Structures are given as C-alpha cells and as structure tokens.
Amino acid sequence: MKMYLAPIIFFAFVCNSVSAAPTGRIFITNERGDSVSVINGSTLDVEATIDVGERPRGIGLSPDGNELYVAVSEENKIKVIDPVSLKILREFEAGSDPETFAVHPNGNIYISNEDDAKASVFDPKTGAQVAEINVGLEPEGVAISPDGKRVIVTSESTNMLHVIKASDNTIEKNILVGSRPRAATFTQSGDIAYATAEISGEVVKVDMNTGEILKRGSAGDSKSKPKDVVLSKDESVIYVAGGRANKVVVMDAKTLEIITGIPVGKRVWGLAISKNGEQVFSTDGVSGTVSVIDTRNNEVIKTVEVGEFPWGVVIND
Amino acid sequence: MLKNYIVIIKSSFIAILLASNIALAENVQVKFAYIGQKDHSALLGAQQGLSEANLQGQFLNQIYELDLISAEDANTHDFSNYIAVLTAVDTDSYTKLADTLPNIAVFNLSIKDDQLRSTCIKNTLHVIPSNAMETDAKNQWQKKKPDSTVNAQAWHPDFVKFAARDLNKRFKKNQKKLMDDNSWAGWAAVKMTSDAVARTKINDPAKMLNYLKTDLAFDGQKGSVMSFRETGQLRQPILLVENNKIVAEAPVRGIAKPPTLDSLGILSCEK
C-alpha cells in the first residue's frame, strides 16, 4: 500500500507546482506610471499597484500561468513577477529597448528590440538569450501560433510581417503589408493571421502558409490608427484597438467589414480577451483607464482607473 | 549500378543548380543621384534613408545606391540609370535640372520658395515645406496663442511622437548629428521612393514619378499619411517651436480650416 502512495503524493505535488489555479487577475502595464496595475477579475477593481521601473510596456504570462513577465523598456530588462504574491522574483537583461513580446508554448520569450532592428529569444528561467533574429526597422508586434510553429514580428518602419520558423529561429517569409504594422494574432489552427497597420488604418488577413494577403479592411475613419488586435473565441470576429478613434472596432473576421465601434477611453492601445471569450479589456492610454467590454452585447460594462498611460494587458485566467 | 550512379549525379547536379539559383536570386539595383554640397545636411538624411532602404531591401533582394554629383558636373552627367534625383541646390540650378530631366522625379530638399511651387513643373517634388506652409502654420498657432513667437519647422531633433523618437535616435547614432529639416527631407525622399519600389517593384523613373505624384501614401514619421499636391509640394504636418521647444503641431487642432494638411500653403498651380 505504502509503495503506491508515494508516487501518488509525488504526482499530486508536481501537478500542483506545474499549474496553480489562475488568479483571475488582469495585469496592466502603465507606460508613464512606471507600474503594473492589478485588477481583481471578480470585482473588476484595482487591488494593487506594483512599481516595476521605467517605461513598462510588453506584458505576458508563462504557459503555466505561474510567472508574469514585464518588459521595462528604459532599463532594457524583463522583470519576473509572482502573480499570486505580486513580488518581483527576478529580472534579466532583454536587449536594447524591449517593447512587445509573446511567450512561446515552450516557455521562451520572443521580444522585439525596437532600437536594434532585431527580435531576440530569451529563456526566462535562466535569462539566457537563446537566439537573435535580424528583422526590419522598429520591430514592434510579436505573435506566436498556438502550435508554436511560427512567430510573427512586425517591423513598423519596414512595413513587414517577418514570419519566423520557431524550430530554428530563421526567417521563413517577409510579407509587405500597410504602413506601420503594429500587431498580429493567429487563429487556433495557425493557418491565418490578422495584422493591423497604423498609418494605413487597415487590417490585413494573411494566409500563413502561402504568405498571401487574403483581405484588407479599413478599420474606420481617418482618426482610426489601429493598434492591438484579438480574435473572438469562435473566431468569427476580431477586436481592433482603434487608437485615436477612441473605439474598439469590431470587424467580421471573414470579410473584414466593420460590425460596430465600441466607444472606450482616449487613445486605445492594448487588448486582451478572456479565455471564455466573454470579456475584452482595452488599455485607454491618454484616459488612464481600462475598459471592460462584454462581448455578448459589445458594451463597456466597467471603466477602471489605472496608472498613467496604460499600455499592455494580460489576463491570468 | 551504373544507372543508379548517374541518377545520383544528375539529382545532385539539379540540387546544386537549385541551391545556386536561390543564392543568386536576382538582386535588383536601384540608384539615386544626389546633387549638391557634400556637407549639406540633406545628404546625411539621404544617406540615412539609403541605409534603411537597404535594410528593407535585404528581405526583397533590392540593393540601393546613392551617387554624389556636384552641381557643376550635373550638366554633363548621364542620369538615365537613376530612379530619382535628390537635390540641395539654388533655385536657378534646380529649375534648370528639372527642365533637362523631364521624365524623372527631381526632389527639392532645401528650397522654400513659393513661386517654385506655383509654377508646377511636372517633375518637381518639394519635400521641404514652402514658406507659405510655415507662415500658415505660425498664423494658426498665433490665433490660439496671440503672444507667442514661434518658429515653424519641418522637423525637430526632440520630436518624439509618431515614432519620431526612433527616427531621431537612429539618425543620431548613424550620422553623428541631430536631424534637422533638410536631413528629414533627404531621408523622406529616399524612404518614400524605396517604399514605393518595395511595394510596386517599379524600377523605371517615369513610372516612379507618376506613382509618387498620384498614388503615394507615405509614413513620414509625423503621424499623418503624406502625399503630393498638384504643385509638387508634399503635404505634411509642421512643428511649431518656441525657444527650441516643440509647443504644437500644425494643422493646429480647433483652428485649422480645413482641419487637414491642406490648411497649410498653396494648393493649386498658377493658371
């Protein structure tokens, strides 16, 4: 009997450490506030603010949800935070001017280094740089396909989506899109990606296997400077942060036609969607707020005051 | 046995051919000419634009070059192999050049003269703002703040919005100088042309001139999409600077009529 118990206890222990229950919290980087706001997922109130250093921008979670990563641009570092205790656990050098990043299913961080025309890959456990990839000028958005095969890095001043093969971190394709591509997101299958182009004011839908642009759609009027983009759970619509249009634009994922615009705060940059698909959170830079959108009726159900210039958002769900 | 051997040789020969084909994938060469002083800040901008064009070109098999030609040698130089000509010269030399090279874009990076715009020579492209644009920009600001004495500029080394911070940073790093109006104009001329080459694969000067004049939608890192008027003037925001500090951008919000880039400068040609 005892002989069987030990491995069971051991197994339970391993499971526990691998995936702790998610905190349900929403984490926001405040670019000028030099902090991370922590929003309680049930009450939707700010429950804590963490000082993280100068100009925090990109934010993400480890695949198991046990570690929160924040790119602190002016310090050229990524800081690792415990999403439960909210303590900074450690930090590591992340190249010049780290901005946006995405976390690969294998745990590595792919990050754009805006000043260097480079994307770099870091192992956050050790802080070691795994790879460095030359891309276009002002690399910005980073997206990783759910199966981990492909990584997109957008270069704003070279107007490209650089498609990187994650197996050997080499560039597979360079896709010219509109002016100032900012962000991208993949479908679950990884076959399609959507990307925003800020100055062209458009969204493109790209076949990731051929590199062909399948569709282009305008994200609204001339004020619309689309930034972040997320896909609904059923992949029927995309949500696009409209920048100065002060709206989250909802577009048909198939036709790229605008379905509606949801008024939020001023200069909306970042977006995140909950795993159940029911809520979208937007960071409204100039207003210093986060808008919580109910995706069932596309209405803002709460506006949460956070720090100065909220930038990135991630949900620990 | 022998048959098999030949097959192996054949297939490896094909493999080598394929590999060399990939390695030698046709590089397209795109050349600019610059006419003006070698120490003019417009040239630094053009050189910055060139390095960025080549950074993009490496992904598209395009190689960009820039030939420097003195104003004296320009009369006898063969310009048939250039995609566009960049100039930082005086008004007379500029008009003459534009006249002798009718089927190629001749960029003006330094002359602010209004008359030059209103004559509308068809191959002249003025990247530097005109005097009238700067005056309109100042007037808009003074309607809002009557007591201020501002300067109107195309660019400022402290400009940070719209990723201007990034452009200023890399210009300073590579050119060891601060980016001024003429440098911005030089950078913009090369960048808009190389962006057009990347997108359209046009490598013919007459077609490029037509594209620039009719289809351009350029991100000049000043926040607005830029295009050319029929006068050949580039529509662009103007920075308003007081005591070397940027205080506003024109079109000034709430004042400019129309509230667009066309509230600045001359819009049409002399009839």
Torsion angles phi and psi, residue A222, rounded to 5: -65, -20
Q: How far is A215 from chain B (nearest CA, A)?
A: 16
For residue A176, give the nearest of B169, B199, B225 by CB distance: B199
Q: How far is A179 from chain B (nearest CA, A)?
A: 6
- Alpha-carbon gap, residue B159 to A225, rounded angstroms: 19
Across the interface, whether the CB atoms of B59 and A199 are under 8 A apart is answered: no
Mean pLDDT to the nearest integer, A228-251: 96
Chain A residues near residue B56 by CB distance under 8 angstroms: 136-137, 158-160
Across the interface, whether the CB atoms of B170 and A160 are under 8 A apart is answered: no
The residue among A205 and B162 whose pLDDT is bigger is A205
Whole-number pLDDT of residue A120: 95
Whole-number pLDDT of residue A225: 84
Interstrand relation of B105-108 and B124-126 (parallel, antiparallel or unpaired): parallel
For residue B169, give the nearest of A115, A156, A176 by CB distance: A115
Q: Lowest-pLDDT range, A67-71, A95-99, A211-215, A265-269? A: A95-99
The residue type of A205 is K
Say yes or no to pLDDT of A5 above 90. Answer: no
Write out pLDDT tens, residues B196-246: 999 999 999 999 999 999 999 999 999 899 999 999 999 999 999 999 999
- Alpha-carbon gap, residue B151 to A83, rounded angstroms: 50
Kindly identify which residue of chain B lies nearest to residue A171, measuring between CA atoms. Answer: B59
Q: How confident is the model at residue A20 (pLDDT cuts 50, 70, 90)?
A: confident
Torsion angles phi and psi, residue A123, rounded to 5: -95, 110
The residue among A250 and A17 whose pLDDT is bigger is A250
A136, A119 in Cβ contact below 8 A? no
Q: Is B201 on the interface with A (CB under 8 A)?
A: no
Average pLDDT, chain A: 93
Q: What 8-state DSSP symbol labels residue A116?
A: T
Which tokens belong to A230? 């997320």
Say yes or no to pLDDT of A67 above 60. Answer: yes
Q: How far is B208 from chain A (nearest CA, A)?
A: 19
Mean pLDDT to the nearest integer, A276-298: 97
Whole-number pLDDT of residue A115: 81
Q: Lowest-pLDDT range, A27-31, A132-136, B21-25? A: B21-25
Whole-number pLDDT of residue A2: 44
Across the interface, whether the CB atoms of A176 and B217 are under 8 A apart is answered: no
- Alpha-carbon gap, residue B16 to B14, rounded angstroms: 5
Exposure on the CB side of residue B169, measured as CA atoms within 13 A: 15
Mean pLDDT to the nearest integer, A243-268: 96
Chain B residues near residue A199 by CB distance under 8 angstroms: 217, 219, 225
Domain ranges of chain B: 29-263
A116, A74 in Cβ contact below 8 A? no
Whole-number pLDDT of residue A194: 98
**ipTM of the assembly?**
0.79
Chain B residues near residue A174 by CB distance under 8 angstroms: 59-60
Alpha-carbon distance values, B102 to B96, B205, B210, B223 (Å):
10, 10, 12, 32
Write out pLDDT tens, residues A147-176: 999 999 999 999 999 999 999 999 999 999
Whole-number pLDDT of residue A9: 46
Across the interface, whether the CB atoms of A157 and B221 are under 8 A apart is answered: yes
For residue B219, give the nearest of A117, A162, A199 by CB distance: A199
- What does the DSSP assignment read for chain B? -HHHHHHHHHHHHHHHHHHHHHHT--PEEEEEEEEE-TT-HHHHHHHHHHHHHHHHHTTTTEEEEEEEE-TTGGGT---TT-SEEEEE--HHHHHHHHHH-TTSEEEESS---HHHHHT--TTEEE-SPPHHHHHHHHHHHHHH-TT---EEES--TT--GGGHHHHHHHHHHHHSS---HHHHHHHHHHHHHHHHHHHH----HHHHHHHHHHH--EE-SSSSEE-B-TTSBBP--EEEEETTEEEEEESPTTT-SSSSGGGSS--S---
Across the interface, whether the CB atoms of A160 and B59 are under 8 A apart is answered: yes
Across the interface, whether the CB atoms of B55 and A176 are under 8 A apart is answered: no
Q: Is B249 on the interface with A (CB under 8 A)?
A: no
Kindly identify which residue of chain A lies nearest to residue B222, measuring between CA atoms. Answer: A199
Whole-number pLDDT of residue A220: 82
Which residue has tokens 């506030």?
Answer: A33
Whole-number pLDDT of residue A116: 85
Whole-number pLDDT of residue A231: 98
Interstrand relation of A35-39 and A46-51 (parallel, antiparallel or unpaired): antiparallel
Q: How confident is the model at residue A14 (pLDDT cuts 50, 70, 90)?
A: very low
Q: How many CB pairs under 8 A join A and B?
A: 51
Per-residue model confidence as pLDDT tens for chain B (271 residues): 444 444 444 444 444 444 443 445 689 999 999 999 999 999 999 999 999 999 999 999 999 999 999 988 998 999 999 999 999 999 999 999 999 999 999 999 999 999 999 999 999 999 999 999 999 999 999 999 999 999 999 999 999 998 899 999 999 999 999 999 999 999 999 999 999 999 999 999 999 999 999 999 999 999 899 999 999 999 999 999 999 999 999 999 999 999 999 999 999 998 6
The residue among A200 and A10 whose pLDDT is bigger is A200
Average pLDDT, chain B: 91
Return the CATH architecture of domain B29-263.
3-Layer(aba) Sandwich (3.40)
Q: How confident is the model at residue A19 (pLDDT cuts 50, 70, 90)?
A: low
For residue B195, give the nearest of A117, A159, A162 by CB distance: A159
Q: How confident is the model at residue A18 (pLDDT cuts 50, 70, 90)?
A: low
